[in-house]
Structure 1
């Protein structure tokens, strides 16, 4: 006869069965990969001291003196403190990996093997250092603030590019990005990819006077200029531009002007080419002269993307980090243009041989520069005052302001 177990007997059986079971602890994962602990011995920092000057310049886009100066400037903004758990990544290492990222555009999972810095940490270091670079170098991107400074800019355009009363060349480029989350088609441009627009004003020496980035790629290209702070100041006479004055050797008074291509609207301070349909020789001459001076901004963008090849990639970053990358590249461009004699070579930029009537494209044009031009507007836009100013320049370039080579070059250079 089998007797039923009481509830206390059942509890005792359960306790006895579980008494000998030791709860297994979950094996703790290593909080850092072992090879990352060897950063001081194996990372790319160790080869910098033995690189030849040319190799050092190719690796970081600047020589050691410029690197040391830049490191001195940014260190207060990027230096971190060591802790009891680990040593921090030094300011020098942070700057090196950021400059290498800007120079190559390599992905974080690639850079981690040369820098021995983890991907999550790189995703913090690089944007932070880009902002620090821009913060320290943005004074090299400076619009003239007085009439005298504007007149000096105009003198450079007249001396180098034979365009009187020109104070800047303007253009905009689409920079490719991955579609931001929950943005729909907001950043989808006419070329069929997602982008933000970089707008710039450049002087006669390929230096940025003004840059603005972050405008979403779906904005109509004709409205890009109108959305900038630069345009708002221009139309409200807040740029301290010199008063209109006579063209050299004439009594024809014209305002000082910026130059752009057909993507922009015409007004009294902004010149663009004549439409090519049924164009006269006089208008073709004007278009050539404008194109000759305006090419400085195309070449500036080409040099920028050639030196900092991150701009040839599709940026997979948060929008604020995209702005940091673009602005850091522009600031570095002006900084190196000023202090690095070999930053721009003759092969890099477009060159005209006016004696032989030949035109050689800059090396940056032989490959895709990663920056897509704005879409050209239709030729239906009209501005009465802008047309009057443009006609005055056209007549001047075909009379008192003509240059000896323009009749030959107008048939050689694409305008």
Structure 2
């Protein structure tokens, strides 16, 4: 018995239906069924209208004789063009933009809305073909996902089990590789959920659930390995790299903050409104000599300034309390007569001067040669954090757009991309920038304003003077300013 058969044990004979009833049902809006649906119905274990209900193209309430008539009407519609503005499509969205009756349950189970029966196989085959084409071209693959094929497979092996959902009798769940692809594509472009949903042929609500879930799993799975809290030995190793690469001894990292631009959340007032006249979250980061994020603090309100962000961050509080586990004081190279000095972090004028935090001498004019030499050496070491932000925002270009997502999702995306930045640089096939000039010179992320009062203590002033004297005498380099 074929799918268009008018009778079955469930539907019953149709010759008992009055002509009036038959005409009323046949004049109702018909279902335009692609040929794939007919093939799926023929392969279904059910018969007649039950087969079409099984593949999801006829509503469940179309039972008995009504279902048989619907099948006959569908067969007639298949042989001629649809009337008026087109037929009705179940499991998809038309011009009205209304959700399908099954969209809520589909989004809750993490499946693709509108992917009933062979529709989902159709979408899956298209995505598999796209991934196959991308994998054949390493450059296109890395440009699309921002990860090489080996990095993508490594990341999927680490998080795949945690982003895999269970298949149901209703439909198959989206596979983990596709969920990861959706997330990476959003991070790489910053496109709207609607655009991402159209690219991967899934529902908008599905994308809105996949992205927060996947970025959370990425952060939790990678942070312990690729962004652990440094101990005393790690801080000492970072200081040695700064001295070797950037000629700044006893430096444990460069500190800076950036604003992540986003759309104002509802009922937030001026909480996120910053001095750049847009709404933002603040990312505070410590970067080592190899452009890797070592400590990050994200979530500060854009309006916060004058010491609020730095002082209230976990990093700032640990520095102030002395619980950051920094190495003990040491002598500067070749300057034992100057006494032991603390390990420090370097920052710009937005940060306060502290014994553990060096900032340049203020002002552009009226500085002595020694002060200009100190500013040059400090800025040379501090530029690693600027370069790291440039590499990071160039890789994940969502941070060069206005983000129209909830602040909590923005925070999760920032954390995930920071740890992915380290993952890419520390993986075996990661590529380091050829030179400092390879980083784009534009500033996609606005910097932060003054983050603390300038009433430095005497110890902080003395520490800066000792570093300045060292850079001008035993620690001088040939290329620093001479006049």
TM-score range, shorter chain: 0.7 to 0.9
Please give the per-residue CA displacement for 1:164-188, whole angstroms capped at 9, x wherever unaligned. 1101100000000111111110000
Could you tell me which of 231, 234, 237 is aligned with 2:316?
231
Could you tell me which of 200, 212, 218 is aligned with 1:127?
212
The whole-number CA distance in structure 2 between the counterparts of 1:221 and 1:177 is 22
User: Does the CA-based 8 Å contact 2:351-2:359 persist in structure 1?
Assistant: yes
- Inter-CA distance 223–190: structure 2 relative to 1 (3 Å threshold): same
Please give the per-residue CA displacement for 1:151-175, whole angstroms capped at 9, x wherever unaligned. 1111000000000110110000000
The whole-number CA distance in structure 1 between the counterparts of 2:430 and 2:239 is 25
User: Does the CA-based 8 Å contact 1:303-1:344 persist in structure 2?
Assistant: no
Q: Structure 1 residue 145 and structure 2 residue 214: aligned? A: no
Q: Report what 2:440 is aligned to.
A: 364
The whole-number CA distance in structure 1 between the counterparts of 2:181 and 2:428 is 18
- Inter-CA distance 363–182: structure 2 relative to 1 (3 Å threshold): same
Gaps of at least 5 residues in structure 1 are 1-21, 351-360
Q: Report what 1:344 is aligned to.
A: 432
Q: How does 1:4-403 map to 2 (within 5 A)?
A: 30-33=90-93, 37=120, 38-43=122-127, 45-51=128-134, 52-139=137-224, 140-146=226-232, 148-220=233-305, 222-251=307-336, 252=338, 253-276=340-363, 277-339=365-427, 341-347=429-435, 350=436, 361-365=437-441, 367-369=442-444, 371-376=445-450, 380-403=454-477
Tell me the secondary structure at the aligned position of residue 481 of structure 2: helix
Please give the per-residue CA displacement for 1:204-251, whole angstroms capped at 9, x wherever unaligned. 000011011111101015322111111111111111111111111112
User: Does the CA-based 8 Å contact 1:264-1:377 persist in structure 2?
Assistant: yes
1:40 is displaced (CA, Å) by: 1.2
Gaps of at least 5 residues in structure 2 are 1-23, 31-58, 60-88, 94-113
1:106 is displaced (CA, Å) by: 1.5
The whole-number CA distance in structure 1 between the counterparts of 2:375 and 2:182 is 44
Please give the per-residue CA displacement for 1:236-285, whole angstroms capped at 9, x wherever unaligned. 11111111111111122210000100111110000000012421110000
The whole-number CA distance in structure 2 between the counterparts of 1:88 and 1:324 is 24
1:103 is displaced (CA, Å) by: 1.0
TM-score, structure 1 normalization? 0.84
The whole-number CA distance in structure 2 between the counterparts of 1:225 and 1:340 is 34
The whole-number CA distance in structure 2 between the counterparts of 1:96 and 1:166 is 39
CA RMSD of aligned residues (A): 2.3
The whole-number CA distance in structure 2 between the counterparts of 1:340 and 1:55 is 20
Higher alpha-carbon deviation: 292-301 or 274-283? 274-283
TM-score, structure 2 normalization? 0.73
1:325 is displaced (CA, Å) by: 0.6
Q: Which has the larger radius of gyration?
A: 2
Q: Report what 2:79 is aligned to.
A: none
User: Does the CA-based 8 Å contact 2:305-2:450 persist in structure 1?
Assistant: no
Tell me the secondary structure at the aligned position of residue 167 of structure 2: coil
User: Does the CA-based 8 Å contact 1:221-1:374 persist in structure 2?
Assistant: no
1:197 is displaced (CA, Å) by: 0.3
Higher alpha-carbon deviation: 65-74 or 166-175? 65-74
The whole-number CA distance in structure 2 between the counterparts of 1:267 and 1:385 is 8
Aligned residues: 372
